[in-house]
Amino acid sequence: DKWTSYAVPALAGHGDGNRTNDVPLLPVRQDRVLVLLADQLLQCDTEDPQRVEVHVLLTAAATSLGSFATMVAAPDGRLWIAGTRGAIHSSSSLRNLKSDTQWTFTFALPEELENRRPGRLAAAPVASWQVLDSAVGADNSWWLATTTGLRCEKTPLWKIQPPEKPLPEFTDSLPDPLMLENAAIPAPPEELGSPIRWSALLAARNGDVWIARGSVMAWWHRNAWRLFAATNQTQPDNVIAFAEAPDGRVWSATPGTIWEFDRNNWTVLRSGFEQINGLCGARDGTLWVATDRGVLRLSHGIWIANGMEEGLPTAVVQRVAEDQLGRIWALTPAGPCIYDPDADVDPPKTFILPLATEADSFREDVPVSLFFRGMDKWKLTTPDRLLFSYRLDEREWSPFQRAREVILTELPAGRHYFQVRALDRNGNVDPVPARLEFLVALPWYKETRIVIIMALALVVALALTGLASNRHRRLKQSYAVVAQQIAARTRELEMANQELLHSQKMNALGTLASGIAHDFNNILSIIKGSAQIMEENLDNPEKLRTRLDRIKTMVSQGAGIVNAMLGFSGSTGEQPLPGDLNAVVGDTVRLLGDRFLHEVEINFEPAPGLAEFPIVRNLVQQILLNFIFNAAEATTPPKQVWLSIRKLNHLPETLVLKPGAAPAYAAVSVRDNGCGIAPENLPRIFEPFFTTKALSTRRGTGLGLSMVYELAKKMEAGLAVRSVAGRGSTFTLILPVRQDSKNAKLSPS
């Protein structure tokens, strides 16, 4: 119940967590484990925990694997090692491995993986690949997991047999004439000539004999010779080989055709061969044909071709034969090969491609095109070499062929069932054919029920059309009467609207005049206060000059109001100039006059260190005067108003008007402790003509704050309002602080 650590110096620098440096381990028995490094196979004995013995069993340099990747124990007890170029296995059990154990190179990597190995030259850049794991199946199939995919390398259908294994006796090109002498058969007809000139000879199991030479062929049957002469295309010409089926049928081969004899006549079994070199009739009834393009076999009416893709070393096959154990051999220029039917026992899978139409139905007069494909489980047979057979509505299966499309014509109306199955190069047939169900529908004009329904629908439609026409005529008459009444009511409404519009214009004109009077009253009150102070201080030139300057400023303010009212939506014509915001606000407070300052206490908190930036001085003062007068009216004695300036690096979340973009902002706030603004009125305070002073002693016009809104918009300034009913309000003017191109020192703090 605990972990024990062993010091193994040979493992230094390996297994740091990177996948490329993982170290495969394989326990062999108690206190013994195999360790696979990239360059060697180690055996660690841990019987003595204080001293671990490490033995080198194999080095990568002693093999042709390149570098080691992984290892696995096979079901028979042997050890398999996968490398960058293939796999090897030990000749003895992994429990008895020694440094002198023999190793056998079994599998080589596929060519496409070889080409992807780092360091190989290629036509295009390639990425490196890596063997991640491997395993050996009970059938000696080699499973390889790489970064390019999962592969199963199985024994091919045909493999070259080592010379020390027993081989079948392939018949020579010339038949053995002693066969006839041993059977005590009389000499064949003279047309066949001497045995040395015979091209084919067959001794059947029932005692019959077949001999061929050129265009002449003889058959020994029932103690007599029967002669066949090839005078036309009805029998073989230039026979090169015979073969016999278990049921007594005889096959013969000419250079390009296979013939079959039915005890009476010869018929063509298959033609179109490039060059036939030999025949073999196996005991299971299969016919094997050796050609210059591989081996073909006929089994249960299916022709299957095997070539170099199935393991033959060359395309040319000289002879094919069956040994006493029932194994099939093929003689090639590269040596004899043996056929292993158990190398591929998994059938392929068949697929039907989706129909071109969204629905599964077709018209009766339209051909139905169906496409299908297949996939061998381990791709031992490539998709382009699979054969397909199909049937419709449970009828007979079609012959296997390479076509992957079928066009069905003249199908009767109704539901149909299409099935297709695939065949690989080892004769394995898909046991579960792919199935497709589709419908062939009649054109609508051939459907009796549809025609009757459409006729009835036409009658109903005509009847409904008559009813609708009558109703439409009556509705048109009703609409005419209603239209006359609407016209009369419209004239009456237009007259009433004109009177109402005239009344609204007069009210708006009066309200606008009241608003202008309100703003001029603010200015005149300051001028009046300054004039009174001048009367009281006629002997003080300094005070007279100060009040005269204040009167001039307020006259300019009045001119600005007139200009703003004449062009309410136009430009003010004033350009921003560099100025000190603290000074501008201070001058605004001084403009209020001594009498106003006696009635209302103004508390001003400037912002220290605020640099100059472009400001429209008159508009800022006009906005602040509106804020101050509104604040003074909202408070009760003793009246107090607070003004403050602060620098902003970020805009507040709630804004009535968003200012223009700038790197920083300066905010001037006017706060009072008056009655505040009701929450339902707060969103409307900047609307023109909206006022809550309609019933107060000093009737409001609703234009003060709307003027403020328009003036702030023209300056690209922002506005913010915060109010709590019964506790006061705060109006804030937010000015963008921008760099003045004419004065580099005016940068925001």
- pLDDT digits 0-9 by tens, 237-283: 889 999 999 888 899 999 999 999 988 888 999 998 989 999 999 99
Contact (CB, 8 A) for 632 and 600: yes
Whole-number pLDDT of residue 509: 59
CB neighbourhood size of 471 (10 A): 10
pLDDT band at 117 (very low <50, low <70, confident <90, very high): very low
Model pLDDT for residues 158-187, shown as the tens digit of each residue: 988 766 555 666 654 445 555 565 556 777
Q: How far apart are CA 292 and CA 278, in angstroms?
A: 10
Q: Is 184 left (phi over 0), alpha (psi -120 to 50) or beta?
A: left
pLDDT band at 306 (very low <50, low <70, confident <90, very high): very high
Close Cβ partners of 171 (under 8 Å, ≥ 6 residues apart): 319, 321
Tell me the one-letter amino acid at 211. I
Whole-number pLDDT of residue 702: 64
Tell me, letter by letter, the H, E, C secondary structure of 683-721.
Answer: HHCCCCCCCCCCCCCCCCCCCHHHHHHHHHHHCCCEEEE
Q: How far apart are CA 380 and CA 373, in angstroms?
A: 16
Q: Are strands 414-423 and 577-579 parallel, antiparallel or unpaired?
A: unpaired
Give the SS3 label for residue 115: coil
Whole-number pLDDT of residue 731: 94
pLDDT at 558 over 70: yes
Model pLDDT for residues 450-509, shown as the tens digit of each residue: 788 988 999 999 999 999 999 998 999 899 999 999 999 998 888 887 777 666 556 655
Residue 72 burial (10 A CB sphere; 0-12, 13-18, 19+)? buried
Model pLDDT for residues 651-663, shown as the tens digit of each residue: 888 899 999 999 9
pLDDT at 561 over 70: no
Using a cut of 0.75, tell me whether the model's pTM lies above it. Answer: no
Q: How far apart are CA 226 and CA 513, in angstroms?
A: 138
The secondary element (H helix, E strand) that includes residue 395 is: none
Q: How far apart are CA 68 and CA 23, in angstroms?
A: 10
Q: How far is CA 413 from CA 365, 370, 409, 419, in A?
A: 10, 17, 12, 18
Residue 271 burial (10 A CB sphere; 0-12, 13-18, 19+)? exposed
Whole-number pLDDT of residue 33: 93
Q: Which of 69, 48, 51, 52 is nearest to 60 (CA)?
A: 69
Q: How far apart are CA 733 and CA 624, in angstroms?
A: 8
Query: How far from chain centre, in Å, is Cα 440?
Result: 36
Whole-number pLDDT of residue 745: 38
Whole-number pLDDT of residue 186: 76
Give the SS3 label for residue 466: helix
Comparing 125-139, 155-169, 286-300, which segment has the lowest mean pLDDT? 125-139
Whole-number pLDDT of residue 649: 84
Q: List b or e across 488-501, with b for residues whose CB sees 16 or more CB atoms inside 10 angstroms.
A: eeeeeeeeeeeeee
Whole-number pLDDT of residue 291: 95
Residue owning tokens 């390019």: 148
Close Cβ partners of 330 (under 8 Å, ≥ 6 residues apart): 158, 290, 295, 312, 317, 319, 320, 336, 337, 338, 339
pLDDT at 723 over 80: yes
Q: How far is CA 119 from CA 55, 59, 232, in A?
A: 32, 22, 64
Instruction: Return the structure tokens found at 293.
Output: 């393009």
Model pLDDT for residues 323-357, shown as the tens digit of each residue: 888 899 999 998 899 998 888 888 999 999 988 76
pLDDT band at 46 (very low <50, low <70, confident <90, very high): confident
Give the SS3 label for residue 331: strand
Whole-number pLDDT of residue 568: 45
Give the SS3 label for residue 627: helix
Instruction: Return the structure tokens found at 574.
Output: 């004033």
pLDDT band at 746 (very low <50, low <70, confident <90, very high): very low
Q: Is 300 left (phi over 0), alpha (psi -120 to 50) or beta?
A: left
Contact (CB, 8 A) for 141 and 155: yes
Model pLDDT for residues 36-45, shown as the tens digit of each residue: 998 899 999 9
Q: Are strands 600-605 and 639-648 parallel, antiparallel or unpaired?
A: parallel
The share of the chain scoring above pLDDT 70, in percent, equals: 83
Query: For 379, how many CA atoms within 13 A lie in the half-sphere containing its CB?
Result: 4
Q: Which of 282, 304, 301, 280 is nearest to 290 (CA)?
A: 280
Close Cβ partners of 259 (under 8 Å, ≥ 6 residues apart): 235, 236, 251, 252, 253, 266, 267, 268, 269
Contact (CB, 8 A) for 180 and 362: no
Tell me, letter by letter, the H, E, C secondary structure of 10-37.
Answer: HHCCCCCCCHHHCCCEEEEECCEEEEEC
Q: Which of 418, 385, 380 is nearest to 400 (CA)?
A: 385
CB neighbourhood size of 332 (10 A): 21
Query: For 101, how many CA atoms within 13 A lie in the half-sphere containing its CB?
Result: 22
The C-alpha torsion from 46 through 48 and 49 to 54, rounded to 10°, is -40
Contact (CB, 8 A) for 356 and 369: yes
Q: Which of 229, 213, 223 is nearest to 186 (CA)?
A: 223
Q: How far apart are CA 76 and CA 32, in angstroms?
A: 20
Tell me the one-letter amino acid at 258. I
Comparing 95-104, 184-193, 387-396, which segment has the lowest mean pLDDT? 184-193
Whole-number pLDDT of residue 512: 54
Q: How far apart are CA 747 and CA 749, in angstroms?
A: 6
Model pLDDT for residues 570-601, shown as the tens digit of each residue: 445 578 889 999 999 988 888 776 657 778 88
Q: How far apart are CA 131 and CA 117, in angstroms?
A: 11
Tell me the one-letter amino acid at 9. P
Whole-number pLDDT of residue 275: 93
What are the percentages of helix, strand and coil residues in the chain, rounded to 5? Answer: 25, 30, 40
What letter does residue 383 receive in the DSSP assignment? G
Distance linking the first and last C-alpha atoms of the chain: 70
Mean pLDDT for the chain overall: 82
Model pLDDT for residues 370-421, shown as the tens digit of each residue: 999 999 987 888 888 899 999 999 899 999 998 999 999 888 888 899 999 9
DSSP-assigned beta bridge partners for residue 462: none
Instruction: Check residues 626 and 696 and name the one with the higher pLDDT.
Output: 626
